[in-house]
Structure 1
Amino acid sequence: MKDTVAREGRRVCEGVVDTQELGAELGAAFEAGDVVILDGPLGAGKTTFTQGVARGMQVKGRVTSPTFVIARQHASTVGGPALVHVDAYRLGDDPLGELDALDLDTDLEDAVVVAEWGEGLMEQLGGSHILITLDRETLAATEGRIISWRVVDGM
């Protein structure tokens, strides 16, 4: 991740627009080889956040949940890295092997991999990763969510 964004942070997002704006801000800072793990319960806004990431990265295509296809690839419109949006919940114990078996058009090290439900699995893809936690429970009475992020250095 480029140093234009803090390696760790937290923001209250009041709804969809704020969530997508934060996604775009962080997405503009992502670089080829970044592994981004989205953590949060069903309905927390993981796909909504990824829609913002796609806008910030300036990639092609409509971002929707990858639940039924496991992974979607979005090519850059500006010569940047592709976005590979993954539903890690449906991957087995070997996410790298299973993603490779999908025969994506790009090498993962040349892309930004954003994985919903990826904690505990997707760390295998890189030496470090960016963990983004989406919390809707704290602000349950509203449409808001608290989104925190941090770069986790590998072993």
Structure 2
Amino acid sequence: MSADSVPITPARFAAALKDLPLSSLHLKLLELRNSIAHLDYSNEQLRPYAEGTATAFSSAEAAAAAAATTTTTTTTTTEPSAQQQPPPPQQQQTQQLTPDPDCAEAIRENEEVIARMQERIRLVRAEVESRGLSWAEFQGAGRRCGTTAMPT
């Protein structure tokens, strides 16, 4: 999403749902849940860096690792220069890891998006129930049609 775009408001989303057939509501529900699952996975991957319990290679360490495994046409391994070598394992263990503020911010942004998507799921549910269907029947019908909506 670009910096100046704004997500659709819940009221506009609810109004748009009124014109959709049930099959499209099923698809929208699946789309929202899939997006939430991807954002949750992303947050799981980012969390160790945001908390400072993991660190990524620095560009110098990555270059040194790449140089250490690069072979020439005569299959000899090139050694990285002393300046590019990562610290010995005992030094790496004693290094203090610092939380990555960019990862922490990405997690916060993802959580905001997840909250909006959960609100949209509640709006889909309200629309389904306003049409006289139960949420369980709606999801059961989705499974019979080949979709796999999970209960909320």
Look at both structures and tell me which one has the larger radius of gyration over its CA atoms: 2
TM-score range, shorter chain: under 0.3
Which is helix-richer, 1 or 2? Answer: 2
TM-score (norm 2): 0.27
